[in-house]
Every structure is written in structure tokens, then in C-alpha cells.
Chains A and B, each alone.
Chain A
Amino acid sequence: MSKKPQFGLLIDYEYCTGCHTCQVACAQENNWPAGMGGIRVQEIVQALPHDKHYLTYLPFPTELCILCRPRTKKGLDPACVKHCMAGCMTFGPIDELAEKIKEKPRMVLWVPR
């Protein structure tokens, strides 16, 4: 049985630009070879009425995300959060992030494994 989760990642996907920084930051920090890593960035193109579309990027923490425990223990932000070019990721206790998610729409709260 895994322990009850305490921490999570809050993503403001309105501003995620799909820069893939989080992906490479994670690989560097945690020594993942190409093909593996704690986070994957997805592209979603959604059709809207009147022949319009909306483009979203969404970083998804994988089975390999350990929420950068060695960093966060020292009080540092996870590598992905620190480097995110759009500043759209927040790490923190789930309760705090759940409060924050009320502040604006187009957010997602991930609680990795």
C-alpha cells in the first residue's frame, strides 16, 4: 500500500506553451535517458464552433515522477517547476494547491504516484 499523498503539482495550462523544458529538466535532474522521464507534454487541438480551434499543451507527470523528493526535502522547487519557461507549475502540499486552484480557471492539480 502506498502512503497517502501529501504533495502535488498545480499546472496552469492556460499558459503552458509546450516548451518541453519540464521534460528535459526532469531528465537532467533525475538522470533519465531519452524515452523515460517524470513528465510528458501533450498537445491537444480542440475543435470549437465556427471552424475555430484551441491549442493546449498539458504536462503530465508519469509513473517516474518522484516529485523531486531530494530537492524538495532541501526546500528547493522540483527541477521542472523551477525551470518552467511559462512559470505555470507550482509544487506544494495538496491542501494549499487545492486552495490555489480556486483562483483561476484552466488549471489542473496532479498528484503523481
Chain B
Amino acid sequence: MPSSETQIYKTTTWSPGPGCHGGCGVLAHVKDGKLVKIEGDPDHPMNQGRLCARALAMTQYIDHPDRLRSPMRRTGSRGEGKWEAISWEEAFDLIQEKMNKIREEYGPESMVFNVGTGRDIYAWICMLAYAYGSPNVMFGLTGQACYGPRLAAAITVQGDFAVFDAAQWFEDRYDHPGYKVPETMIIWGYNIHATCPDNLFGHWIIDLMKKGTKIICIDPRLSWFGSRAKHHLRLRPGTDSALVMGFLHVVINQGLYDDAFVKKWSNAVHLIRKDTGKLVRECDLVSDGSEKNFAAWDTRDSKPVIWDTTQVGFKDATAVDPAVSGEWEIKMANGQTVVCHTVWDAFCDRVNEYPLDKVETITGVPAKDIHDAAVMYAKSKPGAIHWGVAVDMTPALTPLVTGISALWAITGNLDVPGGNVFARFAFDVVPYALPGTKGAIRLKTEEQDKPRIGADRYMPLNKFYWRCQTDMTLDQIFTEDPYPIKGMWIQTAGIMQGLGMDPKKWRAALEKLDFIVAVDLFHTPTTQYADVVLPAGTFLEKDSFRSWWVPLQTINKVVEVEGCRPDVAINFELAKRFDPEFKFDTIQDLYDDILKPSGMTFKELQAKGWAYPPEGSSSCPYLRHEKGLLRPDKKPGFRTQTGLFELYATLREEWDLEPMPRHEEPPFTPVSRPDLAKDYPLILSTGRRSPAFFHTEHRQIPWLREIDPDPVVEIHPITAAENHISHGEWMWIENWMGRARYKAKVTPVVPEWMIMAPHGWWFPEKKAAEPDLYGMWDANINQLIPMGHQGKDGQGAPIKHSMCRIYKCEGGRS
């Protein structure tokens, strides 16, 4: 019952609303059933009373006049902006009828479920897709190039993901006994404090700086961190992988690594054949040997010994002293004698291909700065690294990510206080299938996974990223090969205005589909292409929970907005309709089932508010590899196939993909395409975050729009002068694909050779109907970035480095 007294409720942020990946404790003040105020919860360990601008603007968001208040059915043609309100019952019936038709005529895989950034809703989208029977859950970004690729790459070599340690694992946070503040932190391509991505509270790093952490910033822009960094390495976009090779070069050649870790916990000692460059496997040495076991050279007996991956130890040997380096002639099972050396030798050979002068040439960062930064990090005990989406937004992301992972591992900073700590779902509560975990929500049979687009072409995607490949899915909409795509469910995703590169191609794809449902809070350019739009609720309108790292906590419904329904309720209703065997009667049953590993029901957790995993559990640090807390078999070691940190990725060798770190020049840079550089002399980088917006959201919230009213492109004063552009003038950014109009912000925070144009721009105040589409065709920078350039893993894509030219709006070249 709404009360006319103001009541204060505790809850947790997680989209929709602030848009972020959430986790803050908030106090919602509610009067007469309406949100009248929102504050940070001072008792909550994550934010400790603080709150960002976007969460504080919730009072303008929740009752915004533009919010959708009823399901809508399109009455005109796609993009015509004509709609009629229908009831929820009508909407569900219509959706059921149309989607059943697609399933009957073409099979469930002909329906694609498009998701956006990381929200609790991701789980419920998987739930719906799997209840319907489709494996094609699609994260709509080219190369899925945000977070997931990083996760998959890191898990390939270390079995788990790792993040910087700000004592977030403990309720007493920085006061926790045993916690150490990192001496140095490398911030790699990350403007984290603007939006708290990846479930990390960005301002934790500012907390750490106040406690003495020194910063190394890797970013071509002068960011806030760059300004305050001991070393600011302003690399050319897309050369991060060369830079990490430079770091490794310094660390290895100056002996700044932890040799005990390298010898005991990594596969450095495993043998590699010099003839083929491949690992020596047990089956090479003995005819009935396993291809999943490896070999090392025992210096005591001067002979090879077998590393038994099922035992995570050497076979039939009590005391083995494996050689880290050396060269031996070894007799193979087929009688051949082969010269072998160690993984460590091969890794060092690779690293030695990158002397600092070469790295300077590639990256543009002075060799001395690279040297000094690498030494500073390596000598910091502990040191932490945190990386942003820049590491995903390049096609060769895995050789980059494995290089950075190797850097923190060999410097002894993995799962130690103040280093890079394994991040696991709290109490191992996993809602949906993610790399390294199975999750409660999954496809019923392996058979159903067979048609997943891209799964047979890309093994990393097959094994570590259980979604379809986005670029291939887009192509398949046109080619209908090997099967047609007929419908799309779009939720938490702005495929037209933000998530989709080459949005004209996406528009053509959407036009081709028989049936599209969009779930959103507002009409957007994307919803204009749907057949039915369903109005979702904000985080204040739903009961849910989060286990994304720690703590485990509930999101509590505090208000209701008439006509709207929480995403989970929408998907739950339809999942029941599509799957007669759907095993849950109520959403609460579903939550209780997912929460089982915690030993709590939803209600019990809700009563507590939040819970931290106790020490000694697998979701609480530190040094879990030593304690046997990481692997299902409880043996000490990592959750990789060797049980070791893999400097040379065994799985990637099996998949015929590059097993060690290296630099690969991205496809559209002045180095790879000097021909294009003649016409498009500037590097176009995109994606700078604004504290006012999360991606494409919040443009209609007055308090937020005021902070960042226009699409602004940062351009260096010299570059601006050369192009006769003044501060505040509108200008075109153009390349071979298209152009977008931005307002010039003339500032030395960008180098002369690069411009930075933020993404996600559309104008809710402009006309919905085409050709305006909320002004999106004017300002969408993704029109200059291609689809179809995903990396060899099917993951990663060139988003942060393209090329362009610029000119003033009037009178310029057109």
C-alpha cells in the first residue's frame, strides 16, 4: 500500500536506470508510491554512501514523460514511427503466435536473441531463448568485442578471470587484515571512473591513490588518470599488444620475474619440439600415451618426465626437478630424435622479438618510458593491472590479453593481496552459462547448441563464449546460409544507435526479418524497427539479485510504474508459454534454484541484504591455486587443462590459433593501410565514456543531458587549425564508409594524429520517423566502423582504431 509518509527502502543498483553494471547500495525514498529521492547507502561496502550522477538522476528517469507505459504495436511500416497501444495480454498472444510460427516453419534457431551490455537481464534473455529452443543469443557488438573476449582469453591461460584488488571481497574492505594496497596500478585503456564498467566501482582506484597507489596509465588520451600518472604511455591505438611485449621484454631480460612461480605454477617447464614448434605430448613419447599429458626435462635423472594433467603433477615421480631452460635431444615413440627446448625458452624467444626500440617504432611510446614503467610495475610488491574495453576492441585480442595476463602472473601478482585477484561469482551462484561456469540457465541438450552460429568455425567461441558470432549472424540474415534467420528479440540492446557497427547494414537486416520484438523503457532508433515494443521497468521496479563477483545481494522492488513490467517478468511469462516443460512456477522458484549454492533462498538473502563469501571458499581470495580452491577436483593448481598458468596456451595449440602473446597490426591503421592513410590521415578512435551517459542511454534525462548536451569530438588545437575548425564548430568526420556530424572540442587531451568521437549519440527530442530516426544518421559514429572484421578467434574487432578525415560542416568537401 502506498504510504503518504516517506518510506526509505534499501536496494541495489543494476540496470535499467544508471545503466551500469551495478552493485551500489542505495536508499530509495518513496512517498505515495512514487520515488521522491535516491541516496547512496552509507552502510553498503561497495559504494560506502557515494553515488554517481546517473543513479542520482533516477527521479527524473522513473517518471519521465517519454517512458513507454504500455506495449505498442507498429501500425505503419518499419521506421515510420506509427504505433498503437495494446494490452499486455494482446502483446503476449501476438508474440507467441508469431514466434511459434517461426519455430514451426524454420526451427527455433531462426530466432536470434539480441542482448547488450552486462545486466541481470542477460540471464533472463538466455532463459527465454533456451525455453524457446534457440542457441542464438547474440551480443550485438562486432566481434562481441566487449568483456567476453577478454574473459575467454584470460580463462584460456589461467582458468579464471582476474581483476584488480580493492578489497572488494570483504565487508570491512580496506581495513581487512591481510589486504595490501597495490603500490602501483597500471590502468590499461580504461576510463573506469566515468561509468563503473565490469562490475567495478571506478572510484575505488581513487580510494587506492589516496592510500598511496601510484598510477601507470596506458591511453592515447590525456585522461584524468593520465594526468596523475607517474608514467603516461600514449600509444598509437591498436598497438597495445606490442606494448605488452615491451613490458615483458624488460621484466624478463632484467630478471624482474618471480622464478619460483614460473617454475612451479606455470607450464614454463613443458617441452616444445624445435622442429614443429609444438608441445611435446605424452603420445609423442610413448605410443599409448595421452595427448592431454605433457612432458618436462627432469634434471635429476636427465630424462623426460610426464606431466599428468589428471593428477596435476608429474607421473610416477616423487621428486622431479624440471628444467626451466635448456635444449635436449629426445627420442620420440616413432623412433625419431627431436631437439626440444622449454616453453619458457620459446616464450623468451618470442619476447625477444620485441626489443624496446622496435616497440617504440610500433607504439610511438618512447623506449625509456616503457622501460621505466615496466621496472616500476615489476618492482612493486604488489602491483595491479586493470584493463578496459580497449583490449577487446582489436581483432588480435587474445595474443594481447594473454600477454597482459602473463605479465601479472610472472611478476608474482596473481591472486595475491593488492594484485590481480581471481573474481568468481559470489558463493559460485551463476545464473547463466558463462566462460568457466555452467550456470543454472542453459540449453536443455547439447544437440540444441549445434546450430549456434559460429560455434563450429571458432573454437574459442565454441568453448568459452556461449553465444552466437555477431558478424556471421548479420551476414546470415542476408545469405540465409546454412539456415534462414526470421526473427529477432531485442532487449537491453540498441543495435541501431550504439551496439551495431555499420548501422545501415543492420537496418537492412532488420528490414528483412519477419518479426521483431524490442523491450525497452523508451522508444529508441532500434524500437522503431520492431513489430512489438514492450515497456520494461527500472531496477527500482523489480525483485532480482546479483552475484557478479561479490557480494551476493538482492535488488528489491520499491515502486511500481503503471503499465511497465520488469524484464524478468516479461521473459518469464513467455518462457512458460514457449516451453511446456518449463520447470519453474514462479520467479521466486527460479531465483531460489539459482541461489542454491549459497544455501539461502531469495527471501533469506533479501532479509540480509547482502552476503560475502567466507574465507576458505572458492569465491574469496587469496592464493586459491595453492590451497586447492580453484579446481573442481580440489587439487592445487589452476582451472586450465594443464592445471598450470599457461604461458603457452595448450588449447590454442589444439585449435591452431596463436598460443603465445604477440603483436598483430589491426586492419585499418596508417601502418596496415598506408593507401587509405593518404585520404584519411587521422586516426579515428571512439568510445570515450561520459559520466552523464551509459552508452546510448540518458540523452532524455535533463540533469544528465545538461552535463553533455552535444556529440563532441576531441581534436588537437594544431589539427583543428590545419583543418580550419574552431572550438564549438560543427564538423564532419568522414571515411570510406560514411560520415557523422560532431561539435569540435579543441583540446590538447588528444594527440595531433587522432580524434576521439564518443559513441551512442541520438536525440530523443528529434523526430522518430525516418529519415530522421531521432537524428541518429547525423551523429552515429558507428557509420564509419565496419562489421565483419572479427579476429581469428571470432572475437575482438577493430572498433577503437579506424581512419578518417575531417572538415567543417558548411563549404567543406562533401
Which residue numbers of A lie inside 8 Å of B, CB to CB?
14-15, 17-21, 23-25, 27-29, 33-35, 45, 47, 53-57, 82-87
B52 touches A21 (CB 8 A): yes
Q: Which A residue sits closest to B193, measured CB to CB?
A: A17
Q: Which A residue sits closest to B56, measured CB to CB?
A: A24
Given known contacts A20-B691, A33-B702, A55-B224, is B39 in contact with A82 (CB within 8 Å)?
Answer: yes
Show 29 residue pairs from A and B whose CB-CB distance is below 8 angstroms, ordered by the A residue: A17-B224, A18-B691, A19-B52, A19-B53, A19-B193, A19-B203, A20-B691, A20-B707, A21-B691, A24-B53, A24-B704, A24-B707, A25-B53, A28-B38, A28-B56, A35-B706, A45-B749, A53-B749, A55-B222, A55-B224, A57-B224, A83-B49, A83-B50, A83-B56, A84-B50, A85-B50, A85-B52, A87-B203, A87-B207
- Is B748 close to A, CB under 8 A? yes
Taking CB atoms, residues of chain A closer than 8 Å to B38 are 28
B692 CB contact (under 8 Å) in A20, A56, A84, A86: A20
- Is B444 close to A, CB under 8 A? no
Taking CB atoms, residues of chain B closer than 8 Å to A47 are 748
Q: Tell me the smallest distance from the CB of A55 to a CB of chain B, in Å.
A: 4
B705 CB contact (under 8 Å) in A27, A34, A55, A84: A34
Q: Tell me the smallest distance from the CB of A104 to a CB of chain B, in Å.
A: 10
Taking CB atoms, residues of chain A closer than 8 Å to B56 are 21, 24-25, 28, 83
Which residue numbers of B lie inside 8 Å of A, CB to CB?
37-40, 42, 49-53, 56-57, 59, 193-194, 202-203, 206-207, 209-210, 222-224, 226-228, 691-692, 702-707, 747-749
Q: Tell me the smallest distance from the CB of B207 to a CB of chain A, in Å.
A: 8
Taking CB atoms, residues of chain B closer than 8 Å to A53 are 222, 227, 748-749
Taking CB atoms, residues of chain A closer than 8 Å to B40 are 82-83
A20 touches B53 (CB 8 A): yes
A23 CB contact (under 8 Å) in B53, B193, B194: B53
CA distance A85 to B210 in the complex (A): 13
Q: Tell me the smallest distance from the CB of B263 to a CB of chain A, in Å.
A: 42
Q: Which B residue sits closest to A87, measured CB to CB?
A: B50
Taking CB atoms, residues of chain A closer than 8 Å to B210 are 15, 87
Given known contacts A55-B222, A57-B224, A83-B40, is B52 in contact with A27 (CB within 8 Å)?
Answer: no
Q: Tell me the smallest distance from the CB of B458 to a CB of chain A, in Å.
A: 38
CA distance A20 to B52 in the complex (A): 8
CA distance A45 to B59 in the complex (A): 33
Q: Which A residue sits closest to B42, measured CB to CB?
A: A82
A34 CB contact (under 8 Å) in B209, B228, B706: B706
CA distance A45 to B53 in the complex (A): 23
Taking CB atoms, residues of chain B closer than 8 Å to A15 are 206, 209-210
Most buried by A among B37, B53, B194: B53
Q: Which B residue sits closest to A51, measured CB to CB?
A: B748
Given known contacts A17-B224, A19-B691, A20-B691, is B51 in contact with A34 (CB within 8 Å)?
Answer: no
Q: Which B residue sits closest to A32, measured CB to CB?
A: B703
Q: Tell me the smallest distance from the CB of A46 to a CB of chain B, in Å.
A: 9
Taking CB atoms, residues of chain B closer than 8 Å to A57 are 224
Given known contacts A20-B691, A53-B748, is B703 in contact with A85 (CB within 8 Å)?
Answer: no
Taking CB atoms, residues of chain B closer than 8 Å to A28 are 37-38, 56-57, 59, 703
Taking CB atoms, residues of chain B closer than 8 Å to A33 are 702
Given known contacts A17-B224, A55-B224, A83-B40, is B707 in contact with A23 (CB within 8 Å)?
Answer: yes
CA distance A33 to B207 in the complex (A): 32
CA distance A55 to B42 in the complex (A): 30
CA distance A28 to B450 in the complex (A): 52
CA distance A15 to B691 in the complex (A): 16
Taking CB atoms, residues of chain B closer than 8 Å to A87 are 50, 203, 206-207, 210
Q: Which A residue sits closest to B747, measured CB to CB?
A: A45
Q: Tell me the smallest distance from the CB of A1 to a CB of chain B, in Å.
A: 34
Taking CB atoms, residues of chain B closer than 8 Å to A82 are 39-40, 42, 49
Taking CB atoms, residues of chain B closer than 8 Å to A27 are 703
CA distance A18 to B728 in the complex (A): 20
Q: Tell me the smallest distance from the CB of A18 to a CB of chain B, in Å.
A: 7
